[in-house]
Structure 1
Amino acid sequence: MTLLCVSLAPSLDRYAWLPSLRLGGINRPRDVLVRAGGKGLNAARAATNLGVPTRAVALVGGATGDVLRAHAAGLDVSWVDSGVETRQCQCLLDEGTGTLTQVYEPVRAVPAALWPGVRAAVAEQIERLGTGGTVALSGRVPPGLPVTALADLVDLATARGVPVLVDTDGPALAAALGRRPDVVKVNEHEAAGVTGAPVEGWAGAEALRALGARAAVVTAGADGARYAGPDGRRIAVTHPPLDGALPVGSGDAFLAGLAAARLGHPGADVLAALRLAAAAARANARHLPAGDLTRDAVDAELPALTP
């Protein structure tokens, strides 16, 4: 099984560890790390570290895009040139207080004329997957591309019998839901934004299913995750909160865990998939940077999960 991660809005991520963070003053980090990031590439890195054969398609551009490509070691990526400077995001950890400050640049608009080339690049990779693969559509759609971009990619994969996992928000999520993806994985805020419904209990997952998702998973941070499936099944996984959690990329690690357990494929063990996903999210939240986890670290989190 090969996982294909599609990242239309990646970022060059910079992590800085500071003895203390002084607002309005000069700060000198103890250490700095630069990584190719954004939701899709974070998910690809986490899946790779879980032992899943993983490829990605990413849309990057400009001098920052060149730096991002240089910091994508260990990832098998087909790059598509956006012609537009790739955004940067920063994560600043105050080691004295454990406080994490995140500064995320907005997703920049790209030329509309790029879309046929992007679609063709993804279609080529889907063709290589075969029916044993999985597609993960993760992150936002840049302005300039059609709001139906992810929805169209759902159609491409579905037409070839390849299961699709979707993790996005807003209008792109609403459009993708209408194409009946196999699994939609979002957090409570994202679910509420697209459904307009309360997300307490099972309401968010069921509302996503009513909008078109064959199965829906709604995550709630330390409160775990709820799954609503096409056969009427409802499954919840919970776990205690982590002290000093650093959740950057934990949603992407969760998605990687679902893919590693092949949720969306016929006969998948849903409870096992949810447990692996939640354990991956917990392992990710224990440290920076995003996606740096091992299968042993994930397995060590499993006893904390209920059921």
Structure 2
Amino acid sequence: MTLLCVSLAPSLDRYAWLPALRVGGINRPREVLSRAGGKGLNVARAATGLGVPARAVALVGGPTGDALRAHAAGLDVSWVDSGVETRQCQCLLDEGSGVLTQVYEPVRPVPAERWPAIRAAVAREIDGLGAGAVVALSGRVPPGLPATALAELVDHAAARGLPVLVDADGPALVAALAARPDLVKVNEHEAADATGTTAGDWAAAAALQALGARAVVVTAGSDGARYLGPDGQRVAVTHPPLPGALPVGSGDAFLAGLAAARLAGSGVLAGLRLAAAAARANARHLTAGDITRADVDAELADVHAG
């Protein structure tokens, strides 16, 4: 049983730890680290840390894409050429104040004519999965590719009897909902943007379900998460705030936890608790997706679902 993570907009992530961030001045980091990142690769890294057999397929290009590949140690990735330069993202931690500054380059447009080859490459990865596998579609769809890109991949996986988890935003998310993915995991802002709902997490979850998602999770950082199941089941996930939390990639760790629970055949409550514990474990340090099962198990006592 394998988790396949699809990342159409990965990034070369650079982390810098600074004694103090001086805006408008010269900054000399104490340490700098480069990693293969973006939502899909973060999910794959977190899932691997949880002991889940995980593969990824990622769209990369240019010298930055080459650098990203070189910093993907420990990940099993099938690389697909985008034909354009891969973006970079910067995370700057002021260690004195604990304040995190993030600078994310925009996702560069990919020529529309590349979509058939990209779709075929992802489809081959899906076709190679065995029974009991799970597919996770994470992150943005680059401009130039069709808004229906994720929906087409949901359809392809569903035709092979594979459950699909979606974590995306914008028009690509709305289009994917119409393909009826098994679960959609978004944060409260993404849910509001997709549905136009501002009445709260439950209303947003119901609106996403009305648009086609079978089950919905809306995350809200330290305020926990809300789950709405295909049978109308409602579950609130709560946990105490984490002082000094560094949430880069915590949503991705949450999705990895959901996937791990599904692959293990765990129930809804156990899966949500594992997911929230994974997000908390991720938020205890700066780099995205660097968690272990022991880290996650240590958080479970503080996570409640019901």
Distance apart, 1:182 and its partner CA: 0.2
SS at match of 1:66: helix
Match of 1:81 in 2: 81
Cα 1:223–1:109 shift into 2, 3 Å: same
Distance apart, 1:130 and its partner CA: 2.3
Q: TM-score, normalised by structure 1?
A: 0.98
Which of 267, 272, 275 is the matching residue for 1:277?
Answer: 275
Which of 286, 289, 292 is the matching residue for 1:291?
Answer: 289
Moved more, 200-209 or 65-74: 200-209
Match of 1:146 in 2: 146
**Contact in 1 for aligned 2:201/2:218 (Cα 8 Å):** no
Match of 1:49 in 2: 49
Deviations 1:153-193 (A, max 9, x none): 00000000000000000100000000000000000000000
5 Å-filtered alignment, 1:199-214, equals 199-214=199-214
Distance apart, 1:268 and its partner CA: 4.5
1:115 and 1:211 mapped to 2: Cα distance? Answer: 25
| Pairwise CA RMSD | 1.1
SS at match of 1:262: helix
- How much identity, in percent, do the aligned residues show? 80
Match of 1:169 in 2: 169
Q: TM-score, normalised by structure 2?
A: 0.98
1:164 and 1:34 mapped to 2: Cα distance? Answer: 30
2:267 and 2:245 mapped to 1: Cα distance? Answer: 28
5 Å-filtered alignment, 1:8-27, equals 8-27=8-27
1:130 and 1:144 mapped to 2: Cα distance? Answer: 32
Unaligned runs of 5+ in 1: none
5 Å-filtered alignment, 1:53-132, equals 53-132=53-132
5 Å-filtered alignment, 1:216-255, equals 216-255=216-255
Cα 1:31–1:117 shift into 2, 3 Å: same
Moved more, 199-208 or 124-133: 199-208
Cα 1:128–1:295 shift into 2, 3 Å: same
Moved over 6 A (4+): none
Moved more, 190-199 or 49-58: 190-199
Opposite residue 271 of structure 1, the aligned amino acid is L
Distance apart, 1:131 and its partner CA: 2.6
Deviations 1:184-242 (A, max 9, x none): 00000000000111251411111110110000000000011111011111111100110
2:135 and 2:101 mapped to 1: Cα distance? Answer: 31
**Contact in 2 for aligned 1:191/1:199 (Cα 8 Å):** no
1:79 and 1:141 mapped to 2: Cα distance? Answer: 16
Unaligned runs of 5+ in 2: none
SS at match of 1:129: coil
Deviations 1:74-107 (A, max 9, x none): 1010100111110000000000000000000000
